[in-house]
Amino acid sequence: MKILSLLGLVIKNNLVEGASAHWWSQRVSAFFLAILFVWFTFSFGNIENYEYDSVISWSSGILNSMMLLLLSIVMIYHSSLGLEVIIEDYIHTRKTRKYSLIFNRVIHLLLAVVTIVSIFFINTGSQ
């Protein structure tokens, strides 16, 4: 009887729909994050000194800025997916879960916008 009530809960709360897509999104973003982090480690490690001007010069190159932007966006996306899973698994009140998921998306969206604007300002030389 417990199995039927658990199955009813899963169907009622629509817990299965989208779960495999979410799982694949996490794995694919983790794969790209690993590749981009290897690039970042070697590329950033080749800077002569780590003074402000050297780092700005490194990050204002077109390839480095695009790769840095890609790394940042994938990292923010992966973080959002991970926190979404934690919120869905450990917050049991529907209202709190709903607002926590909205807050998670808003914060990660703002973080992505700030990242894009910051890299744009680095490339244009604006302060």
Orientation angle between helical segments 52-59 and 62-90, nearest 10 degrees: 90
User: Could you tell me the maximum CA-CA distance found in the chain, to the nearest angstrom?
Assistant: 67
Q: Which domain holds residue 55?
A: 18-124
Measure the CA–CA gap between 64 and 46, rounded to whole angstroms: 12
Cα 51 from chain centroid? 28
In percent, the amount of the chain with pLDDT more than 70 equals: 84
Collapsing DSSP to helix, strand or coil, 87 comes out as helix
Query: So what's the pLDDT on residue 26?
Result: 93
DSSP string, 59-89: HTSHHHHHHHHHHHHHHHHHHHHHHHHHHHH
Count CA atoms closer than 13 A to 90's CA, side-chain side.
6
Count CA atoms closer than 13 A to 112's CA, side-chain side.
16
Q: Note whether residue 6 is domain-resident.
A: no
What are the tens digits of pLDDT across the range 41-77? 999 999 989 899 999 999 988 999 999 999 999 999 9
Single pTM value for the model: 0.81
Total domain count for the chain? 1
Q: Note whether residue 108 is domain-resident.
A: yes
Q: Note whether residue 66 is domain-resident.
A: yes
Per the structure block, which two tokens stand in for 7? 């199955």
* CATH label of the domain that carries residue 74: 1.20.1300.10
Measure the CA–CA gap between 29 and 25, rounded to whole angstroms: 6
Which of 109, 82, 93 is CA-nearest to residue 25? 82
Who has greater pLDDT, 11 or 50? Answer: 50
Q: Note whether residue 11 is domain-resident.
A: no
